[in-house]
Amino acid sequence: MKKILTLALLMILLGCTINYRDKILKIVDSYLHPNSVTSLDVKNEYFRDYDFNFVKNTTNLQPNSRQELLNVYYSFINAGNDTFTFYCPTTYTDCIRDVKNLADDQNTLSDINNFVHPFNSFTNIETQYDTMGRVTINLTSTYSEEEKTQIKTKIDQLASTLINPNLDVIDNIKIIHDYIINNTMYDSDRSDRNIVTYKSNTAYGPLFQGFGICGGYTDTMALFLDKLDVVNYKVSSDNHIWNAVKLNNTWYHLDLTWDDPVVTDGISNVLDHDFFLIKTKELLALETTEHEFNQDVYSELKEA
């Protein structure tokens, strides 16, 4: 009788262990590795509280599909985490496979990166996972803390003189667009010859060194758009990146790089507005070589 009772208790215990595996793993992990499971409740000041078609903010740390997995990645990065850990639930049988595929898919990771604030973006991302379903992500931030402080101070100073509260938002965007172009030269040495003299790929280059490539122009504009409380993200093709801007529930393209053309002598001294707040049909009618973008990822722009 005792053997039967013991066997029954063991079966019940085994069943509970299987059914509550995820919770048990979290309890064990929290005991062995305090604070290892990252909370989504903590967000830094650069967190964007709005969603996009491709990725959305979530508090669900139990993804059950690839889309929910993308949302988890986005939510952690958007919250400003340099490292984060979560568990794949047993109900999502392909979770680790999808994590592995995502870790190898730099295009999708870069796309996710385009939807967060520039100060929460990364230059490198590494994924670790084990057979128990524990996933840990480590990021290398695009900007150092010192650079963030310097750039934020500069943006605040410029905004106080450039942004006119008596003008509408489009006029203010145009003022900022023109200021960035008039104070920035395109860094042809970096783009054409891979000679790195300036931090022209980030907002530091245009703001402090007067040189930029497409990443620098785009990040600088994005920082001002956030200052104006304008919903925006960065949209990229294979070789280029620019801003997408939402105004009055309509999405537009804004490309400062192409509005700052380099003339034959290599000195950027021309200011255009050809790529200023235009819709997708207009964009692709003007240029397609570097502006062919994935409309399934940046689907807000499909109808623009």
pLDDT above 60 for 6: no
3-class DSSP assignment, residue 76: helix
Paired tokens of 173? 């965007």
Q: What is the pLDDT of residues 251-291, one digit of tens each?
A: 999 999 999 998 766 554 789 999 999 999 999 999 999 99
- Distance set, CA 300 to CA 9, 55, 63, 272, 277 (Å): 56, 12, 24, 25, 14
Section 175-192 average pLDDT = 96
Closest Cα partner for 203 from 109, 117, 283, 269?
117
In terms of Cβ atoms closer than 10 Å to its own Cβ (0-12, 13-18, 19+), residue 186 is buried
How far apart CA 109 and CA 70 sit, in angstroms, is 9
How far apart CA 5 and CA 3 sit, in angstroms, is 5
3-class DSSP assignment, residue 37: coil
Q: Residues 126, 138: contact at Cβ < 8 Å?
A: yes
Phi-psi region of 248 (alpha: psi -120 to 50; beta: other; left: phi over 0): left
Its pTM stands at 0.87
pLDDT above 90 for 15: no
Residue 81, phi then psi, degrees to nearest 5: -85, 135
Strands 276-278 and 185-186: unpaired
Query: What pLDDT score was predicted for residue 4?
Result: 62
Query: What pLDDT score was predicted for residue 32?
Result: 43
Domain at 145-301: CATH code? 3.10.620
Query: What pLDDT score was predicted for residue 39?
Result: 76
How far apart CA 104 and CA 151 sit, in angstroms, is 32
199-230 core/surface letters (b: 16 or more CB in 10 A; e: else): bbbbbbbbbebebbbbbbbbbbbbbbbbbeeb
Confidence category of residue 40, pLDDT binned at 50, 70, 90: confident
Paired tokens of 260? 């700052």
Closest Cα partner for 112 from 132, 137, 93?
137
3-class DSSP assignment, residue 243: strand
Domain ranges of the chain: 1-26, 37-141, 145-301
Q: What is the pLDDT of residues 213-257, one digit of tens each?
A: 999 999 999 999 999 999 999 999 999 999 999 999 999 999 999
- Proportion of the chain above pLDDT 90, given as a percent: 81
